[in-house]
Amino acid sequence: MNVDVLTRLVESKPAPVPLLALQAYVNTIDVETATDQLASPAEFRDWQRHTGLETPPRDASAQELRRARELRDTFRALLMANAHGAVDHGAARKLRSHVGAGRIPLSVDRSGRLELDLSPAHSVDELLSQMIGIAYQAQVEGDWERLKLCRNDACQWAFFDSSRNRGGTWCQMEVCGNRIKNRHYRRRHRAAS
């Protein structure tokens, strides 16, 4: 896992490691620019090589690419639910099907403690299982609810909410927050006149 690259890919408000890897995975789709780093097997391979999450990176099959997109979209729905303080039962059902499809990679340290194996994955299936394991670890450690999607519908970038009250709603207040506030302001003034 190349933490420096993952941090640059996330741009702002990065999650702690290893949740950072899941944040970057969720951000492989950019709503603002309409780009998808999982659009083709070659693009997915390049993303894996760049991030150091799979070794050696290889082209995913059509089925593996479909599963990678489905899991990403499931996580995005769950992060949107985190942003709204809600529960997405549909996304929970979809995640359940992904959990049943793979094994969470674990390792054992010298004292016998189990920990998530974060070494580079050797297959797409292993990488997807690792993402599920990272989500599980974040839930156990209490960081999961802090990973959210920006509430600006034109953005929807995943960010880590480090605010004390966990009330963050935008990936960047000075960009998305101001856009939304200005939009609401103009709407109120139009309605008043």
Would you state the pLDDT for residue 186? 53
pTM for the whole thing?
Answer: 0.87
C-alpha pair distances (Å), 140 with each of 12, 110, 135, 144, 145: 24, 22, 9, 8, 11
Would you state the pLDDT for residue 39? 96
Would you state the pLDDT for residue 188? 60
Which 3 state secondary structure label does DSSP give 116?
A: strand
Would you state the pLDDT for residue 166? 82
142 φ/ψ angles, rounded to the nearest 5 degrees: 85, 10
Which of 159, 134, 155 shows the shortest CA–CA distance to 146? Answer: 159
What do you get for the CA distance between the two ends of the chain, in Å? Answer: 55
Which of 39, 37, 3, 38 shows the shortest CA–CA distance to 21? Answer: 3
**CATH topology assigned to domain 3-192:** Jann2411-like fold (1.10.3300)
Q: Cβ atoms within 10 A of the Cβ of 34, count?
A: 7
Beta strands in 68-151 (DSSP E): 106-108, 114-116, 147-149
**Structure-derived torsion over alpha carbons of residues 64, 127, 137, 165, reported in degrees to the nearest 10:** -70
Mean pLDDT, the chain cut into blocks of 10 residues (193 residues total): 92 94 96 94 93 88 95 97 91 91 88 93 94 96 96 91 86 63 54 66
In angstroms, the CA 68 to CA 58 distance is 14
- Domain spans of the chain, in order of start: 3-192
